Structure 1
């Protein structure tokens, strides 16, 4: 199912009147590949830190021995990164594995490759072509980490399926129905939530507008939460006062609802940022490949 923006999905959702549904599954998307990446980044940082302390000892040299071997392995690791985008676009390559597995390999090699290249260079720039290749690799590696952030924001888990705005909007509708049983008079609250949705999820094509909404989201949620709980307290008092724990239940439903709105609101922003990131990441990688080839040829010819 292809969804252009969460605002368009919201327009469709408000036209329908779904009946009561089970409480939303808040556990979705909790499993991710983040711990795996944290481990890889930690090991990479440890290896680089240890190598830095011995950079003047002469243990590694780019021209011979282990230093040369690390350069070859690192270059092959970076070259293998190409298999992920090729696997996504070429149907005949499906025999080499699924896209999800190759994405995992892509993320891991995106850490291992630069680490090996840094060790190969022994923290020295060297010639002009080697310096260009090193800086290009560092830029691509940093770009990959930024892309990972955007990717995780529009997927259920780092290695999971692509998140659907429809799911977040369904969560919102479900949570609104929860207020029917937890509120003495939910009519005013449901109207307040509809007004909030209309404001926060209004269609827009401007990136800066989406960014502004995302940045102002915490403040808007705080104001709405304060207003709702104050009005709820007055409603409870007028209705004779239900059990004390009902207030906590309403607050929990409200927080879950506001979280679903925030996810639906931010989805379009991160999707746009991810698309813009793609426009820069691929050309940067092409520059890296060209610089690496020039470096390897220059080293072996001269």
Structure 2
């Protein structure tokens, strides 16, 4: 399954909603109080409520165990957590005043926090079944990769063996938890670029390509990074939860007050 499928689907849906909104804006003046605005708000709020309630039930209880693995529910959680706030944004007609403006601000804040949470979640290595890998699992995988790498390097000559040894003994930069997790993409790019340059230089002196050596070096480095990062990512996720959950509570409280005010002041679904 594509790990970013829910993001791609969210983008497609949001683009479709944008087209609908633009077409509607050409025919009428958008407003949060017109029928389309109301239904966008209702459906968007419903999606946000769904993503908050049912994902939490699946994750923290056994009530919905029959409904599939948690990782699939997380994908649904991410999808509805993006599309729902986007629909609420269009519901406001981009007018941010009073309680509705505060509610929209909290919606954007919670959605942004969700993106951070997903990034932290992907920093924790998992098996194909979606189960978190342990440090022992990663050490075992590193040892297997190391053994395979040494065997391949021994067939390629002393220069390749020297490259493998130098890579093994390279200096690991010490970073804080946040830097270690958030800068992993940048660190990966720097390592790949440097390694590719070394491999290409060596290939000029070799009679065979070194693609297998490069693949194994990248694999070893990726697993070593995961081993360094696993505890940091878990600590950061704990901190993130402390902030994300209260923000969600404030958001849904504001949504409830906003809906109650709309009903009290006589807003209807059709005019």
TM-score relative to the length of structure 1: 0.68
1:137 is aligned to 2:107 = yes
Distance 1:95 1:40 in 2: 25
Q: CA 1:105/1:212 → structure 2, altered by over 3 Å: closer, same or farther?
A: closer
Distance 1:253 1:245 in 2: 16
Please report the RMSD computed on the Cα atoms of aligned residues, expressed in angstroms.
3.8
Q: CA 1:101/1:174 → structure 2, altered by over 3 Å: closer, same or farther?
A: closer
Distance 1:68 1:265 in 2: 49
1:122-147 deviations in Å (ceiling 9; x for gaps) = 22224x11111111111111211221
Contact 1:151–1:158, Cα closer than 8 Å, also in 2: no
**Post-superposition offset of 1:244:** 1.9
Helix, strand or coil at the partner of 1:69: helix
Distance 1:207 1:94 in 2: 33
Q: Give 1:253-268 correspondences, 5 Å limit.
A: 253-268=216-231
Structure 1 residue corresponding to 2:3, chosen from 33, 37, 44: 33
**Post-superposition offset of 1:104:** 2.7
**What is the match of residue 130 of structure 2?**
160
**Post-superposition offset of 1:92:** 3.6
Alignment: residue pair count: 258
**What is the match of residue 278 of structure 1?**
241
Q: Give 1:4-19 correspondences, 5 Å limit.
A: none
**What is the match of residue 172 of structure 2?**
200
Unpaired runs of 5+ residues, structure 1, are 1-30, 234-240
Distance 2:258 2:249 in 1: 14
Helix, strand or coil at the partner of 1:182: helix
Which deviates the most, 289-298 or 88-97? 88-97
Contact 1:175–1:257, Cα closer than 8 Å, also in 2: yes
**What is the match of residue 269 of structure 2?**
none
Which deviates the most, 186-195 or 91-100? 186-195
Helix, strand or coil at the partner of 1:154: coil
The structure whose RCO (Cα within 8 Å, separation 6+) is larger is 1
Q: Give 1:1-302 correspondences, 5 Å limit.
A: 31-48=1-18, 50-52=20-22, 54-55=24-25, 57-58=27-28, 60-81=30-51, 82-94=53-65, 98-126=69-97, 128-156=98-126, 160-178=130-148, 179-183=150-154, 184=157, 192=166, 195-196=169-170, 200=172, 207=177, 210=180, 244-245=207-208, 247-302=210-265
Distance 1:33 1:50 in 2: 28
Q: CA 1:119/1:218 → structure 2, altered by over 3 Å: closer, same or farther?
A: closer
Contact 2:120–2:237, Cα closer than 8 Å, also in 1: yes
Q: CA 1:43/1:195 → structure 2, altered by over 3 Å: closer, same or farther?
A: same
**Post-superposition offset of 1:246:** 6.6
Distance 1:150 1:213 in 2: 11
Contact 2:6–2:75, Cα closer than 8 Å, also in 1: no
**Post-superposition offset of 1:245:** 1.5
Distance 1:146 1:96 in 2: 26
Contact 2:13–2:83, Cα closer than 8 Å, also in 1: no
**Post-superposition offset of 1:150:** 1.8
Contact 2:82–2:111, Cα closer than 8 Å, also in 1: yes
Distance 1:209 1:120 in 2: 37
**Post-superposition offset of 1:223:** 6.8
**Post-superposition offset of 1:292:** 0.3
Q: CA 1:193/1:57 → structure 2, altered by over 3 Å: closer, same or farther?
A: same
Helix, strand or coil at the partner of 2:217: helix
